[in-house]
Structure 1
Amino acid sequence: MKVDIWSDIACPWCFIGKRRFEAGLRDFAHADAVEITWHSYQLDPSLPEHYDGTEVDYLSERKGMPRAQVEQMIGHVGEQAAGEGLHYDFDNLVVANSMRAHHLLHVAARHGVADAVKEDLLSAHFEHGVDIGDPAQLIQVAGRHGLDADEVRTALDDAQVRAEVEHDFAQARAYGIQGVPFFVIDEKFGVSGAQPAQTFTGALEQAWQASHPLAVQYAEGTTCGPDGC
């Protein structure tokens, strides 16, 4: 069974959603049969490579949100993250364009380590103040997962990889995705947002039953129905 996940590295709810999905998947009886594919999505493609300011500055200045509202929102998100064992550090978070990090994820997918690299990038961005727009930092992340530095360095600005990322964006538009994280199960069932773990378990079970209908064999004279036995 396939699960396609659209997500941005610069999205705090995407890390929380990853944790909740993983918890829901652990409670799914057929977890070993699930194939996960990560897809790219950018919340703000217009963001410069480096933004000289904090997350609060960015959201208040570029998005036009009152600082008090931003601070309250960030506090709430931080609490939700902590509930999943994550330790967000918004004071030291480096606001940067995530495009090159998405390039890295596509390289990671070619080598079967997309989930591990996604986890590392999210943690680096939200918990450790790493600049996810800096090629040197991305190459360090790649190296921790056995990826070749030269391959990654070339891919970070490669037109073909950019086309693959843009294809993910186009798929998201085709599905009508307007926010992330967004989970598509077997190309039939969609789950939007960082839902509770049990919601993911239920969606997985529903999708499994839809693709694996119960086969029933009847033997004459062994059941009772409305018209008798």
Structure 2
Amino acid sequence: MKIEVWSDYVCPFCYIGKRRLEEALEETGLGDKAEIVFKAFQIDPNTPTTSDESIQEGLAKKYGMSVDETKKMTENVAAQAKTVGLDYDFDNMKPANTFNAHRLAKLAEEQGISGEMSERLLRAYFIDAEAIGENDVLLRIAEEMGLDQNRTKAMLESDEFTTDVKNDITEAGKIGVQGVPFFVINRKYGISGAQSAEEFASALRKVAAEEGVEPALKVLGEDAKGLCTDGSCEI
């Protein structure tokens, strides 16, 4: 089962949606049957690389609202994030352009750690309030994730993976993605937005039934207790 996820690292609902999808995969026992592919999207490609504005000030300017109104809006989003175990730090995060972060994710995908990098970048922005638009921050994150520093630095200073990121964004437009998160399962079904874990689970079960995919068994009880294996028994 292939699940393609269009998302942006400054999209609060993308992180929430990711958690709800993971919850659904665990609940349905289909986690080891799913290949998750992360696709790039930019909510606002015109956002500067760095900014001294608070996220509330940036939102107020963008939507023509007062800062007090945007604070209430982000408080509501933070409350939703808490329901899936995420503690958003809207007080300290600032607007950031994510194009280079998406390029870093493409490098990580090349190295086989796409999922881990996507998680790290989302946590960097929403939990740790890091400036993920800045190359020095991305270099540090890359080092944490085990990527070669010289390779990463050369990538960030070039236009490598620029076409790949742009192709993801173009593809999103072609299949009708108007906002993120957007999930495509087996190129048959699309799920728009951070739906509930129950909605995700229902969709996953539907696709699994159509494709003849059997979920893994849920093993109950304590691990390796009262078990005989490989010619020996746990006494």
Percent identity between matched residues is 37
Q: 2:30 and 2:86 mapped to 1: Cα distance? A: 27
Change (3 A) 1:187 1:158: farther
Q: Greater CA deviation, 157-166 or 49-58?
A: 157-166
Q: Greater CA deviation, 72-81 or 58-67?
A: 58-67
Task: Spell out, residue by residue over 1:58-100, the C-alpha distance to the aligned partner (whole angstroms, 9 max, x if none).
Answer: 0111332333331221011000111111111111102211111
Which residue number corresponds to residue 227 of structure 1?
none
Q: 1:36 and 1:76 mapped to 2: Cα distance? A: 29
CA contact (8 A) 2:103 2:160 kept: no
CA contact (8 A) 2:33 2:213 kept: no
Which residue number corresponds to residue 76 of structure 1?
76
Which residue number corresponds to residue 190 of structure 1?
190
Q: 2:44 and 2:57 mapped to 1: Cα distance? A: 15
What secondary structure sits across from 2:28 in the alignment?
Answer: coil
CA contact (8 A) 1:105 1:118 kept: yes
What is the alpha-carbon root mean square deviation over aligned residues? 1.5
1:69 is matched by which residue type in structure 2? Answer: E
Deviation of 1:157 (Å): 4.2
Which residue number corresponds to residue 152 of structure 1?
152
Structure 2 residue 95 is matched with structure 1 residue 95 = yes
Task: Spell out, residue by residue over 1:180-208, the C-alpha distance to the aligned partner (whole angstroms, 9 max, x if none).
Answer: 11100000111111111111111111112
CA contact (8 A) 1:5 1:39 kept: yes
CA contact (8 A) 1:6 1:39 kept: yes
What secondary structure sits across from 2:104 in the alignment?
Answer: helix
Q: 1:69 and 1:172 mapped to 2: Cα distance? A: 31
Task: Spell out, residue by residue over 1:97-148, the C-alpha distance to the aligned partner (whole angstroms, 9 max, x if none).
Answer: 1111101000011111111111111111111121101111111111112111
What secondary structure sits across from 1:179 in the alignment?
Answer: coil
1:141 is matched by which residue type in structure 2? Answer: I
Structure 2 residue 123 is matched with structure 1 residue 123 = yes
CA contact (8 A) 2:104 2:152 kept: yes
TM-score between the two structures when normalised by the length of structure 1: 0.89
Deviation of 1:213 (Å): 8.9
TM-score between the two structures when normalised by the length of structure 2: 0.87
Which residue number corresponds to residue 223 of structure 2?
none
Deviation of 1:24 (Å): 0.5
CA contact (8 A) 1:5 1:182 kept: yes
1:90 is matched by which residue type in structure 2? Answer: F
Which residue number corresponds to residue 3 of structure 1?
3
Which residue number corresponds to residue 109 of structure 1?
109
Structure 2 residue 86 is matched with structure 1 residue 86 = yes
5+ long unaligned stretches in structure 1: 215-229
Q: 2:152 and 2:169 mapped to 1: Cα distance? A: 21
Which residue number corresponds to residue 143 of structure 2?
143
Deviation of 1:164 (Å): 0.3
Aligned residue pairs total 214
